[in-house]
Chain A
Amino acid sequence: MSATFLGMPGSFPKNSRKAVQNSQLRFNLRKATHTIRGKRAGVVGELPDWQELRAAGKAIKDHTLRNLDRYLLQLEEAVTRAGGTVHWARDAAEANRIVTDLVKATGETEVVKVKSMATQEIELNQALAAHGITAYETDLAELIVQLGDDFPSHILVPAIHRNRSEIREIFLDKMPHVPPGLTDDPPALAEAARLHLRERFLRSKVAISGANFMVAETGTLVVLESEGNGRMCLSLPETLISVVGIEKLLPSWRDLEVFLQLLPRSSTGERMNPYTSMWTGAVEGQDFHLVLLDNGRTDVLADEVGRQALRCIRCSACLNVCPVYERAGGHAYGSVYPGPIGAILTPQLRGMSSELDASLPFASSLCGACYDVCPVAIDIPEVLVDLRAKAPHAAAEKAGMKVAGWILNDHERLAKAQRAATRARKLVPKRLPGPLSAWTDTRDLPEIPEESFRDWWERNERA
């Protein structure tokens, strides 16, 4: 995992300061996180057995991690039996090389991609570009990010930092054949993306995906999505290459009954996402390759406290409840994994040798809201505290403490920024009545921590 994700050498505090000053970003983030948070609470509340599902999800993942070697071998055998080819990659460079060689062997110079955090983590698009292969992102948000030449800021809604008029500008500027009268109406923008990508889907011979789950027992891969670009990529091209972290494994077919309930409800706040595709090996004449990616995961696995981060199913519920994320935005975390999960996963995957990575465990008030919503019960505060103890001391800690205070305490200025954003951009959602709500909502944060960041700091400083 590269530390140059944002091309900025900064630390979390430096990066987040920029974000806090960007009122558009903050307004969008706030709207997004609060909306999804509300929807999630609604659909989670519908299930009387949510806590039982959560307990099962946690245990299934822990059991899998404990026996990961055995299940990886079982998966390899099942995928191979079903006509697929399995590759193993120790790190990003090896994974990129394998994928590049596979694409080259097809003779193609263009590939379509369905949103995948693993391929962002290894910076596959850049690696392919270096070999003259263009990778086209097909998820609407990823397309906006790619055409706008910037970086995702949220796991689930990566372009949440862009508003509709910015998206229109990007499309007019970067999309060939875009209708000149394109408005900034969301259905019109979605239609433009549909037309832009349709021909590419029908023409492309190679697709690259990740996967949400892999089933060891059957060799089945599972991708959840909303738009249908995933179905396009997974089923139309002649060659499909899936790059998947080794921790995405589940032992048995039956285990999906837990995760297909936990993930959509935690993620988009829907009872079920519009589309889920499952395939086992080579299907309908396709050529199928699975690249199993380590890239630091076995280091995380070796840490008794930190290994629980590998249970993560990337739902983003922890981002949506995090008071620090809401103010700092996703870019401040300097990696593809933002928010609370990023604060514990990135320093473990990359180590804490850079200023940025060493500051991440401090990007939290330890309020514990992330733990409460996590569908696989990752105790993020526990891992944060453990990482803080391991982080190189001095600068990072001080900077971290400063930013937590700066981000969380200045309600007045936050309210002002939001009012300004509202008036300027006419973005005010109907549910939010007037400027005062910004102030009230600002205060409607998860209760500040049993042990606040400041207390923790003071206690450890003296110790």
Chain B
Amino acid sequence: MSAREEILARVRKAVAGAEDVEIPRHYRTNRQGEDLVGLFAERVDDYRAIVHVVPAAEVPGKLDACLGERRMIIPDGFDRAGGWDDVNTADGVVTGCAVAIAETGTIVLDHGPGQGTRAQTLVPDYHLCVVRADQIVAGVPEALARLDPARPLTWISGPSATSDIELNRVEGVHGPRTLEVIIST
């Protein structure tokens, strides 16, 4: 018997006669939060990321200020010209996002247009992310409902961190050590 057949047979034998269970889903879903922008900004800030809340018209100016003289990766589909090509020598990367979660201060990238590849958003030490207010949802269930499982997804909650040395939190091991978020309202 192949390993596959044998494991499946063992499983069937193990659970034969066991009762199935109903899944109670009485937790919160489909929430319409009040001030999602405010909550998201507060929760991102809790992770020691840098947060700006900016009216849409002022976003280009804010971007200029953040980018400065940095050698930035500007992914295909991000509304801005120019940029640096080589991930290994870039100072940073600027992206949009697919969805953002207020309750947990999380940004989710699906690496679609304007969001770069997985490597582009990982290797440079600085990540600047532009989040539109209408991309912010209340919680995890609302975020999953908007996401496409067929795409590679990267959930980001603050900068890279470790607590492996005597439980001291240190920002930045392998991922970007600085995360800056511009929320466009």
Using CB atoms and an 8 Å cutoff, list the residues of chain A in contact with chain B. 28, 31-32, 35-36, 48-49, 52-53, 55-56, 59-60, 62-63, 65-69, 72-73, 82, 87-90, 94, 138-141, 144, 157-160, 163-164, 167, 186-187, 189-190, 193-194, 197-198, 201-202, 215, 218, 220, 226-229, 231-232, 234-236, 246, 253-254, 256-258, 260-261, 268, 270-280, 283-284, 292, 294, 298-299, 301-302, 304, 307, 427
Contact across chains for A275 and B155 when beta carbons are under 8 A apart: yes
CB distance from B30 to the nearest CB of A (A): 11
Contact, CB under 8 Å: B122 / A232: yes
CA distance A201 to B11 in the complex (A): 38
Contact A257 B174 (CB under 8 A): no
Partner of B157, one of A202, A215, A234, A271: A271
> A277-B154, A298-B11 in contact; A157/B164 too (CB < 8 A)?
yes
Contact of A65 among B3, B15, B22 (CB under 8 A): B15
Partner of A55, one of B18, B26, B117, B144: B26
Task: Judge if B103 is at the interface, Cβ distance under 8 Å.
Answer: yes
Verify if B88 is at the interface (C-beta below 8 Å from A): yes
Q: In the bound complex, how far is the Cα of B67 from the Cα of A109, in angstroms?
A: 41
Is B173's CB under 8 angstroms from A56's CB? Answer: no
Assess the A274–B159 pair: CB atoms within 8 A: yes
Within 8 A of A (CB), among B7-32: 7-8, 10-15, 18-29
B149 touches A190 (CB 8 A): no
In the complex, what's the smallest C-beta–C-beta distance from A440 to chain B, in angstroms?
21
The 8 closest A-B pairs by CB, nearest first: A228-B175, A228-B174, A235-B118, A298-B10, A276-B155, A302-B14, A257-B141, A227-B173
A52 x B7 contact (CB < 8 A): no
Chain A nearest CB from B103 CB (Å) reads 7
Cβ-defined contact, B11 with A69, below 8 A: yes
Q: Could you tell me the distance between the alpha carbons of A261 and B103 in the complex, rounded to whole angstroms?
A: 10
In the complex with contacts A90-B3, A228-B174, A63-B20 CB distance below 8 A: yes
A317 to chain B, nearest CB (A): 16
Beyond A218-B150, A261-B140, A301-B11, is A284–B117 a contact (Cβ under 8 Å)? Answer: yes
Inter-subunit contact B167/A35 (CB<8 Å):
yes
The yes or no answer to B135 lying at the interface (CB within 8 A) is no
Known A68-B15, A274-B158; contact A187-B170, beta-carbon cutoff 8 A:
yes
| Residues on A with beta carbons closer than 8 Å to the beta carbon of B160 | 226-228, 274-275
Contact B167 A157 (CB under 8 A): yes
15 contacts between A and B (CB under 8 A): A52-B26, A55-B24, A62-B21, A66-B20, A69-B8, A138-B174, A164-B165, A226-B161, A226-B162, A228-B175, A231-B154, A280-B150, A280-B151, A301-B15, A307-B14
- Residues of B near A258 (CB, < 8 A) are 27
Interface size on B, residues (CB 8 A): 69
Question: Closest residue of chain B to A163, judged by CB?
Answer: B166
- The answer to whether B33 has its CB under 8 Å from any CB of chain A is no
In the assembly, what is the distance between CA of A189 and CA of B18, in Å? Answer: 51
Residue of B15, B163, B165, B170 with highest tally of chain A CB at under 10 A: B165
Which one of A90, A202, A232, A307 contacts B88 once the chains associate, using CB atoms below 8 Å?
A202
A193 to B173, CA, bound (A): 8
Shortest A190–chain B CB gap in Å is 4
Q: Would you call B132 an interface residue if the criterion is a C-beta within 8 Å of the partner chain's C-beta atoms? A: no
Given A53-B27, A271-B104: A88 touches B140 (CB 8 Å cut-off): no
Whether A60 contacts B23 by the Cβ 8 Å rule is yes
B172 contacts A257, C-beta separation under 8 Å = no
Name B166's contact: one of A63, A164, A272, A284 (CB within 8 Å).
A164
How far, in angstroms, from A36 to B164 measured CA to CA in the complex? 12
Alpha-carbon distance between A227 and B7 when the two chains are bound, in angstroms = 35
Taking the closest CB of chain B, its distance from the CB of A129, in whole angstroms, is 24
Could you tell me if B172 and A190 are in contact, using CB atoms closer than 8 angstroms?
A: yes
Assembled-state Cα–Cα distance A257/B168 (Å): 29
Contacts of B101 in A (CB 8 A): 272
- Is B106 part of the binding interface, using a Cβ–Cβ cutoff of 8 Å? yes
User: Which of A31, A65, A271 is the most central at the interface, judged by chain B CB atoms within 10 Å of its CB?
Assistant: A271
* 8 Å CB contact of A215 from B27, B88, B149, B175: B149
With the chains together, A73 CA to B173 CA distance in Å? Answer: 38
Closest to B43 in A: A271
Contact among B105, B156, B166 for A28, CB-based, below 8 A: B166
Task: Decide: A68 and B11 in contact? CB cutoff 8 A.
Answer: yes
The reply to whether A194 and B173 contact each other, CB–CB distance below 8 Å, is yes
Measured CA separation A285–B176 after assembly (Å): 24
Distance from A22 Cβ to chain B, minimum over Cβ atoms (Å)? 16
Specify the chain A residue showing the minimal Cβ separation from B160. A228
Say whether B60 faces chain A, with CB atoms less than 8 Å apart: no
With A35-B167, A49-B27, A229-B174 as contacts: A260 and B11 at CB distance below 8 Å: no
The verdict on B153 contacting chain A, using a C-beta distance below 8 Å, is yes
Chain A residues closer than 8 Å to B122, beta-carbon distance: 228, 231-232, 235-236
Given contacts A59-B21, A277-B154, 13 further A-B contacts (CB under 8 A): A35-B167, A68-B11, A89-B3, A158-B164, A187-B170, A218-B150, A254-B141, A261-B27, A268-B163, A272-B157, A277-B153, A280-B149, A298-B11
By a CB distance below 8 angstroms, the chain B residues around A32 are 167
Closest B residue, CB atoms, query A76: B4
Query: Which chain A residue shows the least CB distance to B153?
Result: A278
**Nearest-neighbor residue (CB-CB) of B144 within chain A:** A257
> Which B residues are CB-close (under 8 A) to A72?
7-8, 11
Q: Does B55 contact A (CB under 8 A)?
A: no
Determine the residue in chain B with the shortest Cβ distance to A190.
Answer: B170
Q: In the bound complex, how far is the Cα of B41 from the Cα of A27, in angstroms?
A: 37
Cβ of B141 and Cβ of A157 under 8 Å apart?
Answer: no
Using CB atoms, name the residue of chain A closest to B110: A278
Chain B nearest CB: distance from A55 CB in Å?
5
Determine whether the beta carbon of A94 is less than 8 Å from that of B3: yes
